[in-house]
Structure formats: C-alpha cells, structure tokens
C-alpha cells in the first residue's frame, strides 16, 4: 500500500504550500499522474482552478505503508494557523494508520538548511534521542540529508513524539504536523517518504532512501570546558578537535562521537583539570584583593600547575596584571608564595600548551579505547 503526497506550491515561496493532496492507494502513481489527479481534486473540492492558484507541483512523495482496506484521499488547504480538509467523511482505516504513525519516532534532517555545524549537532541530538528510546533504529541518506526511524516498544502520544522531535527535526515538518494534529488528522503526521520526485527547470529529478550506518555519518559535539584556553585545532584519529575560550568542539564519525563518548570525555577532563582548578581557587581571593578590580574571577582563569600559578586573561588585561617591567606580578608572587605566569586567551605559552596537551591526550586515549572496544569487544561485558 502507498501513501502518495502531492505538494502544490505557490509563487510566493518554495516553502509555502497552499494545497496538498494525500492519496492512499494500492498502486504507485507517476509524477504526472499524481499531479493531474491532485489538480482535479482541488478543483472539485475547493472550487479553485489552475489559473487562480497559479499552482506549482513542488514534489510528489511516496511512502510505503501497511495494507488498509480502502483507498481514499485527503485534500488540504493551508492557512497560516489552521487547515481546511476534504472530504470530512474518512474511513475507519485512519485509526489503524494513526497507531502505525505513533509506533515510530522519526526525524528529517535537511543538512542544507542552516549552518553545517548546527545541522551536524542536530543530527547528533536526533541519534541520541532515537537510540535512547529504541533498539531498532534505522538511518537513511536522502537527497539533502538524513531520515531516522526508531521503532518504539509502545504507542507514544503526539505530544510525546513532538517533545522528542523538538529542535533536531525539521521545523517546517513539525509545524505542518501541528496543523494536522489540531485538525484531528494525526494519521497524516510523523511520516517520512521512501522516495520523492520533482521537476527542476523542466528536468525530472528523484531520489530513494539509502540505508546507512552511524559510521557513514559526520556529527558534531560540544563540551563546555571549566577553564579558558587559547584557540587551537587538531585532528586526532580522524576526529577534528576545535578549542576556543571555554568550548571544545568535536567533529567526526557518529559511531565514534556517541553520547557515551562525550559523557566519558567530560568525566576524564574533570579528573584532569579539577586538581589544577582547585589549587588555583585557593589564591583567587588574594589576587582579586591585590589587583583591586583589575583581576576579575568570573572572567579570568587561575590554575595551579606544579609550583606555578597560571593566570589566563583577556589580551588587554595582561599588561595590567604584569605591570611595568613585571613590577605588579612580582608583588603578587610575594603575596601568594608562588611563581605566576600571566598569559592571554589569544596566545599559546609553554604552560598553557602543557595544559592543552593534557586535554588532547585525554581525547586521544578515549578515542583509542573506544576503537579497541569496537574491534575486540568490551572486556567488562
């Protein structure tokens, strides 16, 4: 059985759809056949003509669905905050379709909409949520991104699914589903096409989903660091690592950069950095008192590293902390009883390079450990 959707677009915008016709049919339709039938239905149900709506068939989407007893269609006219649909008398099969819809968590990630790094974060979030609620997760490459289907162990409500889909899923898709839900058409929500067909400057184009695995996907993860560090970039075992200020951004394969990986890395970094942070915190009040407003603990980072204190500050504040020919920093050293190194977040000094290397080593060891588990299994299991 097939669910065939014809989107009828507008001259106003590619993403404004005044009309849609959903067919539930035992037979597939060609692009031209589906569009022709849809226009006939719109003329009959809404008394509009091709000239009046200046219609443009944006695409025809086809979804394979479980068999139902009766073929039918639903024609929809979109308004800003609601929809009108016809016919009102729908078959009992819609309840079966609704149950089917709510037995999956689905995501449509269009990688071309928005900044690439944000879409790669959305993809990571969608995978996290899908694998959290399901052991049967399938991922498909589409023309412009990815589809994710997670088989659920129970029937979820519409609100539960929308909460899970929030942010990561395509906004237009969520908005349209909300309009359908308000109209009582839940059986038209939460679906993904298996194939899509459209015309581009008169040329016919199409795609069919292609199943892929997490190792075929690139995602981004972000970790909040508890210290400020200079900007740097490194590639470690295929994972790109960007560090700037208090953020670490990781970019790599989805099977490596899992949520568990990020949680483990947070734990490892805390173990690496906490002792230095705690040691530095012992001297913060004394430094703030000595520098009388120049030293600001919410902005500056103080770390205890061996017999030294490392102060990481903004570039414009470094001179104020050091003083003329180092006079101020020498006075501060007498107060705290330690050698003080002052550096800024734009430069890489020897001491800050050592700290960053500890961070990068933690990333490298965790990636290596995960690869060993992947190839040889987890010895603890």
List, for residues 253-263, the tens digit of each pLDDT value. 999 999 999 99
- What number is the average pLDDT over the span 2-7? 96
Main-chain phi, psi angles of 219, to 5 degrees: -125, 165
Strand segments, DSSP code E, in 91-173 are 104-110, 136-141, 145-151
- What number is the average pLDDT over the span 362-374? 74
Pick from 354, 351, 347: which is nearest to 339 by CA? 351
Given this model, what pLDDT does residue 17 score? Answer: 63
Look at 23 and 230; give whichever has higher pLDDT. 23
Summarize pLDDT for 318-360 with one digit per residue, the tens: 999 999 999 999 999 999 999 999 998 888 888 888 889 989 9
- What number is the average pLDDT over the span 160-175? 95
Given this model, what pLDDT does residue 375 score? Answer: 41
Confidence of residue 278 (pLDDT cuts 50, 70, 90): very high
Summarize pLDDT for 128-145 with one digit per residue, the tens: 999 999 999 999 999 999
Alpha-carbon span 93 to 101, nearest angstrom: 12
Cα dihedral sign, 225-227-232-236: negative
Confidence of residue 287 (pLDDT cuts 50, 70, 90): very high
Given this model, what pLDDT does residue 127 score? Answer: 97
- What number is the average pLDDT over the span 195-200? 92
What average pLDDT is seen over the chain?
A: 90
Look at 39 and 241; give whichever has higher pLDDT. 241
Summarize pLDDT for 88-116 with one digit per residue, the tens: 999 999 999 999 999 999 999 999 888 89
Summarize pLDDT for 36-84 with one digit per residue, the tens: 999 899 889 987 665 555 567 889 999 999 999 999 999 999 987 899 9
Walk me through the domains of the chain, giving residue ranges and CATH numbers. Answer: 2-212 (no CATH), 217-381 (3.30.300.20)
Strand duo 72-78 + 104-110: pairing: unpaired
Given this model, what pLDDT does residue 12 score? Answer: 54
Look at 16 and 65; give whichever has higher pLDDT. 65
Look at 198 and 54; give whichever has higher pLDDT. 198
Q: What is the DSSP letter of 11?
A: S
Pick from 355, 297, 346: which is nearest to 318 by CA? 346
Tell me: pLDDT of 203 over 70: yes
Pick from 156, 141, 211, 145: which is nearest to 189 by CA? 156
Confidence of residue 10 (pLDDT cuts 50, 70, 90): low
Of 270-274, 291-295, 322-326, the range with the lowest mean pLDDT is: 291-295
Look at 74 and 203; give whichever has higher pLDDT. 74
């Amino acid at each position: 059985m097939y669910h065939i959707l014809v989107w009828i677009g507008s001259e106003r915008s590619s993403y404004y759809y005044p009309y849609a016709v959903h067919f539930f049919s035992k037979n597939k339709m060609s692009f031209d056949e589906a569009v022709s039938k849809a226009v006939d239905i719109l003329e009959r149900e809404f008394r509009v003509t091709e000239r009046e709506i200046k219609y443009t068939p944006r695409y025809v989407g086809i979804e394979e669905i479980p068999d139902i007893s009766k073929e039918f269609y639903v024609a929809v006219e979109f308004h800003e905050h609601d929809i009108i649909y016809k016919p009102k008398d729908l078959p009992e099969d819609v309840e079966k379709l609704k149950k089917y819809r709510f037995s999956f968590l689905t995501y449509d990630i269009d990688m071309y909409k928005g900044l690439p790094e944000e879409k790669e974060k959305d993809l990571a979030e969608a995978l996290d949520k899908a694998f959290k609620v399901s052991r049967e997760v399938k991922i498909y490459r589409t023309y412009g991104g990815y589809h994710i289907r997670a088989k659920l162990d129970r029937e979820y409500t519409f609100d539960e699914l929308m909460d899970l889909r929030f942010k990561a899923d395509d906004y237009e898709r969520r908005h349209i589903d909300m309009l359908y839900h308000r109209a009582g058409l839940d059986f038209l929500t939460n679906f993904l096409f298996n194939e899509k067909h459209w015309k581009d400057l008169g040329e016919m184009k199409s795609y069919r989903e292609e199943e892929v695995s997490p190792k075929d996907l690139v995602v981004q993860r972000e970790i909040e660091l508890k210290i400020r560090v200079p900007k740097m970039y490194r590639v470690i075992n295929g994972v790109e690592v960007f560090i700037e200020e208090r953020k670490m951004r990781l970019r790599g394969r989805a099977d490596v950069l899992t949520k568990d990986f990020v949680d483990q890395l947070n734990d490892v970094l805390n173990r690496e950095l906490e002792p230095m942070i705690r040691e530095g915190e012992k001297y913060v009040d004394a430094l703030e008192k000595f520098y009388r407003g120049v030293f600001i603990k919410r902005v500056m980072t103080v770390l205890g590293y061996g017999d030294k204190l490392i102060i990481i500050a903004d570039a414009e504040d470094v001179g104020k902390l050091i003083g003329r020919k180092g006079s101020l920093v020498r006075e501060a050293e007498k107060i705290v009883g330690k050698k003080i190194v002052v550096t800024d977040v734009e430069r890489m000094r020897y001491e800050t390079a050592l700290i960053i290397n500890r961070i990068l080593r933690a990333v490298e060891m965790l990636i290596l450990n995960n690869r060993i588990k992947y190839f040889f299994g987890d010895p603890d299991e």
